Amino acid sequence: MAGPRRTTRSRSGSGVRRGLPGRGAVPSTVALSLTLLVGCGGDAVGDRARADVERMLDRRATAVLGRDERAYRSTEATTATVPGQLATGTAEFVNLRALPLASWSYDLTDFRRSGDRATAEAALRYRIRGYDKAPVTAVRTLTLVRDGEGAWQVAADEPSRKGTEQLWEQGRIRAVRGERSLVLGVGRSERALRTYAGLADRAVPAVTEAWGGDWARRVVVLVPESLEEMAGLLGAPASGYRGIAAVTTGEAGGPAKAPADRIIVNPDAYAVLGDFGQQAVLTHETTHVATRAHTNAATPLWLSEGYADWVGYRGTGRTAPEVAPELQRAVAEGQLPAALPEDSDFGFSGDSGKLAQAYEGGWLACRLIADRWGEDRLDAFYRAVGAHGERAGAVEGALKKVLGTTVEDFTERWRAYVRAQLG
């Protein structure tokens, strides 16, 4: 079963804000359910039907991998129509063709039959060639019917209530490969997707220069057609992502064998950014990909988001007032923050000014460490916090071990730094 997921968001606007590790955007597999049971023994007819469905799904998977449309259609109920479904039958198969697959399989986790109809839950697992070290899991609800010859076929294949939409359900995928990136888009021209690939290709070496080479050094970028489609991929209301330029999803702690993180772009918000802002967003999000293995429950958001912003702005020559206008305004009004930002300050449903100040404060905290103790110590501090594994004592221990200071001393140094940089 896949581990917990963390999500980071990028917000457009002055200064370009990003990041919010929190609830997982890509769900793990549902718990395995029991097959139909009667008394103390299994229902032989139900067991046989389940086995027939499993074999049919194996053929369906083989057809997807082999790009065999005729074989795929043989698993589809020809008269199936489901109101509101995004793609069915041949259309969905065509949408998939550009996706570079290394594997595709179904794991039937629940099966309920009533005569010639059945409903099933299945974990669809697939890997993108060259990027995923382990399968991505998409939880599906299947409506199944038997044809006139008794063969089971798929009448509907949709995200389960615990699942999310997949990119191929939203339209035909176009794939563009960069030197260090794979960009998958729907409703976008190849030229537009190559622009994203160029930004990602520049982000990868920039992040490696700051963080080091102990990560995959390549990224997967998904570009849906609109904000609504982005929200569908995340299984959340679109209102929660309005103005968010990008989101990164991945497994917290980033085990060695895990699916590649996905950077999911909100094309509506991303389009209003200038060249600098667009590059900063992709570099920030790529930083989250690189640091994933060292980011977990121990890592406060001021550190994970502040570090990603620090890498995003590193070497750009942007001054503190240019990057932190909201915090500068607060300082000018005599509202110097008393403490480092709390995780709750990074919520996107509250005061946008307070949110901006949280990002800016985290960025200045990481900038302080880089200026006062050096960039190598900043990286070591980040890794030491994550190595603790749990929040309690993580920052305190890393401050003492790596920087030779305390939370109280560091906080006062940070407040003085904020005042000096923005006063």
71's enclosing H/E stretch is helix 69-73
What confidence score (pLDDT) does residue 398 get? 98
Residues 6+ positions from 353 with CB-CB distance below 8 Å: 326
Q: What are phi and psi of 266, to 5 degrees?
A: -95, 100
Distance from C-alpha of 223 to C-alpha of 225, rounded to nearest angstrom: 7
Burial class of residue 392, CB neighbours in 10 A (0-12, 13-18, 19+) = exposed
Task: Report the alpha-carbon distance of residue 156 to residue 154 in Å, rounded.
Answer: 6
Cβ partners under 8 Å of residue 69, min gap 6: 63, 90, 93, 94
Task: Enter the tokens of residue 409.
Answer: 């001393």
| Burial category of 266 from C-beta neighbours within 10 Å (exposed 0-12, middle 13-18, buried 19 and up) | buried
Give the whole-angstrom CA distance, residue 265 versus residue 262.
9
Q: What per-residue confidence (pLDDT) applies to 43?
A: 61
Please, is 358 exposed, middle or buried when counting C-beta atoms within 10 Å of its C-beta (0-12, 13-18, 19+)?
buried
Residue type, 285: E
Query: In angstroms, rounded to a whole number, what is the distance separating the alpha carbons of residues 409 and 423?
Result: 20
Which domains are present in the chain?
A: 1-24+169-295 (3.30.2010.30), 37-163 (3.10.450.50), 297-423 (1.10.390)
Q: CB within 8 A of 277, min separation 6: which ones? A: 12, 16, 245
Task: Let me know: does 348 contact 20? Beta carbons within 8 Å.
Answer: yes
Give the model's pLDDT for residue 79. Answer: 61
Strand partners, 259: none
| Residuewise pLDDT in 10s, the chain (423 residues) | 223 344 555 544 433 334 433 333 333 333 223 222 222 334 666 689 999 999 999 999 999 999 999 999 899 987 645 544 444 667 888 999 999 999 999 999 999 999 999 999 999 999 999 999 999 999 999 999 998 889 999 999 999 998 899 999 999 999 999 999 999 999 999 999 999 999 999 999 999 999 999 999 999 999 999 999 999 999 998 988 888 899 999 876 666 678 999 999 999 999 999 999 999 999 999 999 999 999 999 999 999 999 999 999 999 999 999 999 999 999 999 999 999 999 999 876 667 788 899 999 999 999 999 999 999 999 999 999 999 999 999 999 999 999 999 999 999 999 999 999 998
Q: What is the C-alpha to C-alpha distance for residues 251 and 83, in angstroms, rounded to an integer?
A: 33
Torsional sign, CA 99, 185, 91, 88: positive
- Residue 90 neighbours by CB distance under 10 Å: 12
Report d(CA 282, CA 25) in Å as an integer. Answer: 18
- What pLDDT is attached to residue 46? 63
Q: Return d(Cα 395, Cα 340) in angstroms, integer.
A: 12
pLDDT on residue 92: 86
What the block records as the tokens of 199 is 């930004």
**What integer pLDDT is reported at residue 44 of this predicted model?**
65
Task: Tell me the C-alpha distance between 91 and 86, whole Å.
Answer: 9
For 209-231, what is the HEC assignment?
A: HHHCCCCCCCEEEEECCCHHHHH
Q: Which helix (H) or strand (E) holds 146?
A: strand 136-146
Phi, psi angles (nearest 5°) of residue 315? 75, 5
